């Protein structure tokens, strides 16, 4: 692969957040495996948020919180050493809030790993607010690891693409699939209602729209096929009533889904795009969010 064609790296160190919850433990396990696969160090971070509560916390309170955090970090580091003894692991207690801590530790070349929820999450929220804020603000890849039982490997990395803006996303997915020795499934979805009223719909019909989408997807995938000649790549172009529904269903048969982190340009509602937000909430496998340039 020509590394000069991609500005997003998935070869740097790994930073994972923990708070001692079961969801965080799953994230730590996933991060340990990822750091081992990269032969890079792992940094485990506990965000106490005490810098924002200094007016209401005594010195004894802060010491107690820091002591609890150190204990959680020691357990997490011990877990990593059991799972991936060759991975250099360090820990950090950070007094800021979670997003600032993880973004600060990640710098410009790390990958951030978070659990879907932490101790502060409500049971009915599938993805916690901290995870969403990290995903929305990060300029480096973010992996959100869902809860639930461990699954058998599917041998598939799923890449969700839409147009040429997803070239970077596709290359990251191809890199991960090639590294793991699994196949890459490229899934492109289109919605007929988005084209109602266009000249294409009026005169060429649905078949032409489907053919155009397939051609665009093939054109997007062609450079990846060239740069990864040993990688098995399949393309699936699907007409969907609901793009999130199709993508979420596809994650049931994938080891991870790689999706571009599309962000809204306005401040109303979630800063993440509707599709990204839905996939984060409902995916059956880890979600790798690749920041768009």
pLDDT digits (tens, 9 = 90+) for 23-75: 899 999 999 999 999 999 999 999 998 887 666 788 898 899 999 999 999 99
Q: Residue 204: which pLDDT band, with cuts at 50, 70 and 90?
A: low
- For residues 255 and 153, give the distance between their C-alpha atoms in angstroms, rounded to a whole number: 6
On average, the pLDDT of the chain sits at 86
pLDDT at 1: 39
Question: Rounded mean pLDDT of 203-212?
Answer: 72
Domains of the chain in sequence order: 3-145 (3.40.50.620), 156-291 (3.40.50.620)
Give yes or no for residue 121 having a pLDDT over 80.
no
pLDDT at 199: 47
pTM of the model: 0.87
Backbone angles phi, psi at 280, to 5 degrees: -60, -40
Closest CA to 51 of 111, 98, 110, 4: 98
Backbone angles phi, psi at 143, to 5 degrees: -110, 125
Give yes or no for residue 125 having a pLDDT over 60.
no
Q: Please tell me whether residue 229 adopts helix, strand or coil conformation.
A: coil
b/e per residue 248-286 (b: at least 16 CB within 10 A): bebbeebbbbbbbbbeeeeeeeebbbebbbbbbbbbbbb
pLDDT digits (tens, 9 = 90+) for 106-115: 999 999 999 9
pLDDT digits (tens, 9 = 90+) for 139-163: 999 999 998 888 899 999 999 998 8
Which of 75-89, 166-180, 252-266, 273-287 has the lowest average pLDDT? 252-266
The continuous run of DSSP H or E covering 47 comes out as strand 42-47
């Amino acid at each position: 692969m020509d590394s000069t064609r991609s500005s997003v790296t998935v070869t740097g160190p790994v930073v994972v957040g923990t708070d001692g919850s079961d969801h965080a433990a799953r994230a730590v396990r996933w991060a340990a495996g990822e750091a081992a696969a990269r032969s890079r160090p792992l940094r485990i971070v506990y965000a106490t948020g005490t810098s924002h509560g200094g007016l209401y916390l005594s010195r004894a309170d802060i010491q107690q919180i820091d002591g609890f955090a150190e204990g959680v970090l020691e357990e997490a580091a011990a877990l990593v050493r059991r799972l991936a003894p060759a991975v250099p692991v360090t820990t950090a207690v950070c007094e800021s809030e979670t997003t600032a801590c993880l973004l600060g530790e990640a710098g410009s070349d790390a990958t951030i790993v978070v659990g879907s929820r932490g101790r502060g999450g409500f049971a009915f929220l599938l993805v916690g607010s901290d995870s969403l804020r990290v995903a929305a603000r990060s300029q480096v890849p973010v992996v959100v690891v869902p809860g639930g039982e461990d699954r058998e490997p599917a041998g598939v990395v799923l890449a969700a693409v839409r147009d040429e803006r997803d070239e970077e996303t596709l290359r990251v997915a191809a890199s991960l699939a090639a590294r793991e020795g699994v196949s890459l499934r490229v899934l492109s979805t289109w919605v007929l209602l988005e084209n109602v009223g266009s000249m294409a719909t009026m005169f060429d019909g649905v078949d032409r729209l489907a053919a155009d989408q397939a051609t665009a997807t093939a054109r997007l995938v062609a450079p990846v096929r060239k740069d990864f000649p040993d990688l098995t790549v399949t393309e699936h172009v699907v007409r969907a009533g609901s793009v999130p529904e199709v993508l979420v269903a596809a994650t049931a048969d994938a080891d991870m889904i790689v999706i571009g982190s599309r962000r809204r340009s306005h401040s109303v509602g979630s800063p993440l795009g509707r599709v990204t937000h839905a996939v984060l909430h409902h995916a059956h496998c880890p979600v790798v969010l690749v920041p768009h340039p």
